[in-house]
């Protein structure tokens, strides 16, 4: 299968599956428990239909948006995700460059495999730094200071991962960092020598956002131990309010699902929230992000930028979310499978397809700018 054969999400997913060892593919593709929320995230876009207008003169299309003070050439950004160099040796470098080429924002995860500083140097686009809340408050401040020193635009705290989700596919394959593969897992690696060659001929695995601040036991501390030992389950709104004050720039909470929490985010001075269930990877059975969007926009949409992510695979999904009132949309697996399939060229192809789909969709909807997409354009079944 070649990159030219990839025309949509499923094609990229299939190409990634052919290239990646099973445990890595399943780490990306999998979600929590029975993966109900994961499936619902995409299915929920089919609960409503678009109602187009015609004859409106749509030769010039402007799909740019401004979100948390950042001007984006397209209303889709690359949500922060962990461990990208495991998927392809270019990892975050590829995503940073592709996002900049398409004039959009990208997120570097604190579990990223390329440093914030390097990502900053190779990309001209706006950068988000996503982190988790550590027991050690000094460490949280140090991480924010590091981001401030290099001019990261948006600080993002993920609040839906106070404990790890139950990822049963990872249990079955033995996927963990460092690797603790069972026999079946090892066999799956042996079956993908192309991936192994790509991975082992490039520099070793690092977590540069953490290595500088946290004693990862010389690489022996597992990510699951990091979550249980280093992160602070007693975190409250007061702690976050202090971080928002300290950052004093655009601050965003990722993983908000309820109206009550969205209102609290406004009260403590956040500039944005990402309405997200972490791609179904945390609390299975939680509502699909798109299903929850209208409620959240109605409650806080005039006071804070509401971004949503989860299940977005098509330009028309983006148009539906924007019509309901989201300011922008995040994607995770949508760019991770192309990254795994073909590195930067894959991510660029996926973003180009998204751009073309949004442009075509706007023309067919009779809209020349994002503001023209409203709830008048949607009907729920």
**Which residues bind to ligand FNR, rule: CB under 6 A?**
27-28, 41, 79-82, 109, 111, 130, 158, 254, 276, 278-279, 281, 309-312, 331-334, 336
Q: Is 353 within 8 Å of 99 (Cβ atoms)?
A: no
**Residues 319/66, Cβ–Cβ less than 8 Å:** no
Burial (CB < 10 A; 0-12, 13-18, 19+), residue 83, is buried
278 counts as catalytic: yes
Please give the Cα distance from 307 to 77 (Å, whole number): 10
Minimum distance from residue 34 beta carbon to ligand FNR (Å) = 16
Distance CA 190, CA 20 (A): 11
80 has binding-site annotation: yes
CB nearer to ligand FNR: give 210 or 373: 210
User: 130 a known binding residue?
Assistant: yes
Q: Is 81 marked within a binding site?
A: yes
Cβ neighbours of residue 199 closer than 8 Å, sequence gap 6 or more: 86, 89
Residue closer to ligand FNR, measured from CB, 82 or 378: 82
Q: How far is the CB of 309 from ligand FNR (least distance, A)?
A: 4
Of 243 and 331, nearer to ligand FNR (C-beta) is: 331
Task: Tell the smallest beta-carbon distance from residue 58 to ligand FNR (Å).
Answer: 28
Binding residue per annotation — 163? no
Instruction: Give 274's strand partners.
Output: 254, 307
Catalytic-role residue among 89, 134, 278, 317: 278
Per-residue CA distances from 23 to 8, 30, 163, 170, 186 (Å): 23, 10, 21, 7, 9
- Residue 158 or 323 having the CB closest to ligand FNR: 158
158 marked ligand binding residue: yes
- Nearest approach, Cβ of residue 97 and ligand FNR (Å): 19
Which residue sits closest to ligand FNR, CB atoms considered? 332
Alpha-carbon distance 66 to 51, whole Å? 25
Q: Which is nearer to ligand FNR, 105 or 367 (CB)?
A: 105
Length, in residues, of the chain: 381
Least CB distance from residue 354 to ligand FNR, whole Å?
12
Torsion of CA 266, 136, 151, 78, to 10 degrees: -70
27 is in an annotated binding site: yes
Q: Which residues are annotated as a binding site for glyoxylate?
A: 27, 132, 167, 278, 281
Residues recognised as catalytic: 278
Q: Which residues are annotated as a binding site for FMN?
A: 80-82, 109, 130, 158, 254, 276, 332-333
């Amino acid at each position: 299968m070649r990159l030219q054969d990839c025309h949509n999400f499923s094609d990229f997913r299939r190409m990634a599956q052919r290239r990646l060892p099973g445990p890595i593919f399943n780490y990306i593709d999998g979600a929590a428990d029975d993966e109900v929320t994961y499936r619902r995230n995409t299915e929920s876009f089919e609960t409503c239909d678009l109602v187009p207008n015609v004859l409106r003169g749509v030769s010039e299309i402007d799909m740019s948006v401004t979100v948390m003070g950042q001007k984006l050439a397209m209303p889709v950004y690359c949500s922060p995700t962990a461990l990208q160099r495991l998927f392809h040796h270019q990892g975050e470098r590829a995503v940073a460059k592709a996002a900049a080429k398409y004039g959009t924002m990208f997120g570097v995860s604190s579990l990223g495999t390329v440093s914030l500083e390097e990502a900053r140097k190779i990309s001209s686009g706006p950068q988000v730094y996503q982190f988790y809340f550590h027991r050690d408050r000094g460490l949280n401040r140090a991480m924010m200071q590091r981001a401030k020193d290099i001019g990261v635009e948006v600080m993002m705290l993920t609040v839906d991962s106070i404990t790890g989700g139950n990822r049963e596919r990872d249990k079955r394959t033995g996927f963990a960092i460092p690797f603790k593969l069972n026999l079946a897992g090892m066999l799956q690696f042996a079956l993908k020598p192309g991936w192994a060659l790509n991975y082992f001929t490039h520099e070793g695995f690092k977590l540069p956002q953490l290595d500088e601040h946290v004693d990862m036991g010389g690489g022996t501390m597992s990510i699951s131990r990091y979550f249980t030992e280093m992160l602070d389950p007693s975190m409250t709104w007061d702690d976050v309010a202090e971080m928002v004050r300290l950052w004093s720039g655009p601050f965003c909470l990722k993983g908000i699902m309820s109206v009550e929490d969205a209102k609290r985010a406004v009260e403590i001075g956040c500039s944005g929230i990402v309405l997200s269930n972490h791609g179904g990877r945390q609390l299975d059975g939680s509502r699909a992000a798109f299903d929850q969007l209208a409620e959240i926009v109605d409650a806080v949409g005039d006071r804070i930028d509401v971004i949503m992510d989860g299940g977005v695979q098509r330009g028309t999904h983006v148009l539906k979310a924007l019509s309901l009132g989201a300011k922008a949309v995040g994607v995770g697996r949508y760019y991770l499978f192309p990254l795994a399939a073909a590195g930067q060229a894959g991510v660029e192809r996926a973003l180009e397809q998204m751009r073309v789909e949004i442009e075509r969709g706007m023309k067919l909807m009779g809209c020349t700018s994002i503001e023209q997409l409203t709830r008048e354009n949607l009907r729920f079944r």
